[in-house]
Amino acid sequence: MKKQYRILETEPLWQGFLKLKRYRLEHECFAGGWCPELVRERVEGNHAVSVLLYDPGRDRVVLIEQFRIGALGHQEPPWLLETVGGYCEEGEALEAVAIRETREETGCEVQALHFIGTFFTTPGWCGERITLYCGIVDSGGAEGIHGLDEEGEDIRVVVMSADEAIGELFHRANSTSIVVGLQWLAANRDRLQEVGADSR
């Protein structure tokens, strides 16, 4: 069954760091006919890229830590462990974003990218999608404070064993990309180490 919807009206509500738009729409019901008209506000999220950085030779993960407003009042302190990430510029390839953001936020160079998947973060109110990769890196020199001053970034590089990182799931590692990425790593770690061994 092909389901249909109709957008009746859109209204921009805010154009700041976030862009908020109100929609009036209607859609077909599973039981048949059309459901009552809905009014919903949506944050107009861009397409983002996120990268879980893994060093298969040392079996270490390179993560970042930064302050997140969304964690304020829900987790103390509101600094989260995360994967590298950033938004796509107009016409920019997803792989190019992954390489650029890895360099900007950690100083690491991506040796290979493994596609994990593309998903919505919070589709009930936000249009943001994330394409997630596992990036193979050399963690030997990964350290320091990174980020762009003009974007207000204060990012600390955190290197830990894969076991330690996976152990942080739903604790310090408790946002969408890192949860998906670490679970994917747990399932694919042996294969990545074999590929790494073959390339040495």
3-state SS record for 114-144:
EEEEEEECCCCCECCEEEEEEEECCCCCCCC
Are residues 163 and 116 in contact, defined by beta-carbon separation less than 8 angstroms? no
Structure token pair of residue 161: 């064993």
Question: What's the half-sphere exposure (Cβ side, CA atoms, 13 Å) at 131?
Answer: 16
Tokens found for residue 151: 């974007």
Which residues are identified as catalytic?
151
pLDDT score recorded for residue 196: 61
Say what the pLDDT of residue 141 is. Answer: 87
Q: What is the pLDDT of residues 33-73, one digit of tens each?
A: 999 999 999 999 889 999 999 999 999 999 999 999 888 99
> Does residue 197 have a pLDDT over 70?
no
Q: What residue type is 188 in one-letter code?
A: N
Looking up tokens 């510029």 gives 89
In the chain, where are the structural domains located? Answer: 5-43, 47-199
- Tell me the pTM: 0.90
71-92 burial code (b ≥16 CB/10 A, e <16) = eeeeeeeeebbbbbbbebeeee
Report whether 46 contacts 88 (CB < 8 A): yes
Structural fold of domain 47-199: Nucleoside Triphosphate Pyrophosphohydrolase (3.90.79)
How would DSSP label each residue in 66-120? EE-GGGTTTSSS-EEEE-EEEEPPTT--HHHHHHHHHHHHH----SEEEEEEEEE
pLDDT of 199: 43
- Name the pLDDT band for 1 (thresholds 50, 70, 90): low
Lowest mean pLDDT among 102-116, 142-156, 158-172: 142-156
Longest dimension (CA), the chain: 61
